[in-house]
Structures are given as C-alpha cells and as structure tokens.
Structure 1
C-alpha cells in the first residue's frame, strides 16, 4: 500500500494508531491471564472498530491530514481491505468468545483504546473514559464508578467518544450475547513511556477487579 502515501511523521502520530495500547494490553494480559487480540494494521488502512463501508472506516482525511491513497480507493479496493483485514480480525474475536462460552468460562469483553490529548484544536481534560450503550452495560458502569472516585482523572462517561453509532466491535460481539463489557479510553500522553504504561496497568487492573466484584449488584 506504499504507506498510503504518508511520511513517517504522519504514520507515527495518533491518526494512525492508538499510542501505548499494545504495550498496555500485553501487560494486562499477563497480569490477568486474559486473551489479548490486537490489530497489526493501522486504522488508516481500515478501522476495525467501524462498520465496513462506514464513511470513517477508511478515512480520506484524519485530523486535518489527507490520505490520498484512501481518497482514491474504489469500492473494490475498500472491499478487499475489509475481506483481508477487518473480517479476519473480527472472526478471531468471535472464535475466542465462543471457545470460552463453550467451556463455561466467565467472559468479559474489554476494548482498549487511547485518545489524543488535543483534537481539532480542543483540549481534552479526561484522563480516562468508559464507553457503553446497549446490551449488558453493568460492568462498564461499574468501571466508570471506580474511576470516578478519583476526581483528578476527570473520568469520562462516554467521553471523549460515545458508544452509540460509531463503534463496531463491542456492539457486534457483546450486545446479543449479553456479555459484560467495557470500552476503555486512556489519554495517550499518559501512556508515552514504560512508567506510564506500568502505572495504568496497575490502575486498570484494579478497576477491572473492582468492576467484576461490583457489576452484578448494579
């Protein structure tokens, strides 16, 4: 794909990937003995947390940066990316869930994301946000309750994004199955180095443990 026509500076800033999340997910997976599934393609190739065919699934522009290779993409090219990248990723998630359910294992679906501290010229005060909407949202609400205890975190309730019409993965896999879930958004400047990742690994682990103990009471 010839780097989509973008130079290294653009390819390594927040428009291309969720900074810090791979390392955080790997650390949490080890701590919790949890399955960790991540996409290795940039979301500029195709965003696997969007419905294929949605206007922002293969964005022609992201935070002011034009992606010429996306703007020039035809329907066949978009379908090829969806078939080669989006569909296998979602299939792996679904298969992992079904294996756990078939084995009678407790299953909670957690989506990890990070967000830029500033978007379209607007500062974002939240250090962490929890996204939730339909389905069994009790676990997500329990996580929000945990983070909200610390006012310094400015914990966002469906901030800086909301799980209504844009998200794909959790609605697709969790809603009909009635799985407990939470989508966690952490500000990228807090995951910029090993110390930050270690701190948020501790904090997120405790939030997950607390929410697990609390959510059935909600």
Structure 2
C-alpha cells in the first residue's frame, strides 16, 4: 500500500479524464448522470493507503451502476455524463465544504491517504476532478436549453445490501427533495412492477447538505429530477445490469410518453 503526500498536479498525463461521456448525441429528454461510476485513483495518490480488498468495496464506488448506466444510455438514446474517479478521492455528490467530501472514514474503514490533508491538496482534488465533472453537466444543460431540448435529470446510483450490519430490504429506491413531477411517476411505475420492494426516499433522502448533483443541477436549474438507487447484489454481474437497464428503459419510456402527453416536456 502506498499513497502520495500533496502533489502539485493531481492528474498525471496517463490518468483518465475526470469526465466520461456516453452517447453525447442522444436526443432523449433524460440526461443521465453517474457520480460514482468508477473507482480510479489518480496515480500520484497511489492507493490511498488501502488494500485492493477495500478498493473494490462499495465504499470506493457504486458497484454495478456503470454497466446499468451505459446500457440504459444506449436503450434510451440518452446522454450519460459519468465520473470515473473513486468517491474516496473526492465525492462528486457532496458539497465540497462538507466533511464527507473527502472522507476520513467510510463505513468503518479509515482512509490513510485522506488523513492530514492540507487545504491546498483538498482544493486540488476539487479543481481537477469535481469541478470539471460538474462544469460539464452545467454546460450540457445550457447547450440543451439553447437547442430547445427538454432535460429531465436522472442521477444513477447503487447501494450496498448491508450497511453497518443492517440489511436493507429495498430492491430500488427513488430519491428526491423538491420535485413533485418525476418522483411520483417513478414510484407509481416501479410499484406497478409487482415484484419489487420500492424505497420512497430510501435508503437515502436528498438534501442540500448530503447531495450535490440533484440540488445543484436539478433543483437550482428548475429541471424535473430524481435519483435512482439500485441494490448492488441485483446488478453484480452483466445479466443483472442488463435486466435492470431494460426494466428502467421501459419505465422511463412510459414516463416520457406521460410527460409529453401532459405537455411537461
């Protein structure tokens, strides 16, 4: 295990861009985001002092959601904007000023590479990973508006089946705060599936202090929006990813029809 101190340049020339995009020409009204798509660590940071057994766990990324998001993007013809770097480097769904933005502990695991981090080092993570990702989302929303394209923001996540020793019964959850249009439709369609335990703001609820993507890009921009959380054991292989992408594509397609019929998009 190793981790760097406070490099002056966070992303080396061999490191991946902090913004991944799939299907950028997609014309769907749904704009998909995936804040915890990947688990990469910038090479100057080594492994943050963690063994690989920790870096493959849910603390580092949203297991399975990358496959779901990419497949869903293809099925809907929707633009996907995703973050390939681990939430342990900087959490791109947390306001930068909160302690969990660069976590010292995740669940019960201490993150050595985040201990004693200087203000400058934390700022480097924000300016080179967090900011480009969210700036791109902003730019795409602006561009869609200029083109007269409606935008419905869907933020895709996954959650661990057991957290801090407590089992979570939900198969999927809809996460929201102020939007009264999209979340009720999602809940209605998910419950109509008949074989799902559906969380209504479970296992998490959206707030300005615990979230960033939905409050900033959805609520502040006046867009219909919702987060979707899928339990990780259901999407732990390609078959599960495909099944859930297909299920969500059908549901979101039906919702699009409803929104258009009601002249909401």
TM interval, short-chain normalised: over 0.9
**Alignment length (residue pairs):** 217
Residue 55 of structure 2 corresponds to residue 11 of structure 1: yes
TM-score, normalised via structure 2 length: 0.79
Residue 86 of structure 2 corresponds to residue 42 of structure 1: yes
As a proportion of its length, which structure holds more helix? 1
Question: How do residues 182-193 of structure 1 correspond to structure 2 at under 5 angstroms?
Answer: 182-193=226-237
SS of residue in 1 equivalent to 2:122? helix
Larger displacement relative to structure 2 (160-169 or 120-129): 160-169
SS of residue in 2 equivalent to 1:4? coil
Task: Give deviations 1:29-79, integer Å, cap 9, x for gaps.
Answer: 111111111101000000000000211111100110100111221211111
- Please give the alpha-carbon distance, in whole angstroms, between the structure 2 residues aligned to 1:89 and 1:129: 24
Paired residue for 2:29? Answer: none
Contact 1:143 1:210 in 2 (8 A): no
Contact 1:139 1:212 in 2 (8 A): no
Per-residue deviation at 1:87? Answer: 0.5
SS of residue in 2 equivalent to 1:56? helix
Residue 71 of structure 2 corresponds to residue 27 of structure 1: yes
Paired residue for 2:186? Answer: 143
Larger displacement relative to structure 2 (41-50 or 201-210): 201-210
5+ unaligned residues in a row in structure 1: which ranges? none
Paired residue for 2:250? Answer: 206
Per-residue deviation at 1:210? Answer: 2.3
State the Cα RMSD in Å. Answer: 1.5
Paired residue for 2:196? Answer: 153
5+ unaligned residues in a row in structure 2: which ranges? 1-44
Per-residue deviation at 1:176? Answer: 2.6
- Please give the alpha-carbon distance, in whole angstroms, between the structure 2 residues aligned to 1:211 and 1:156: 18
- Please give the alpha-carbon distance, in whole angstroms, between the structure 2 residues aligned to 1:104 and 1:207: 24
Residue 244 of structure 2 corresponds to residue 194 of structure 1: no
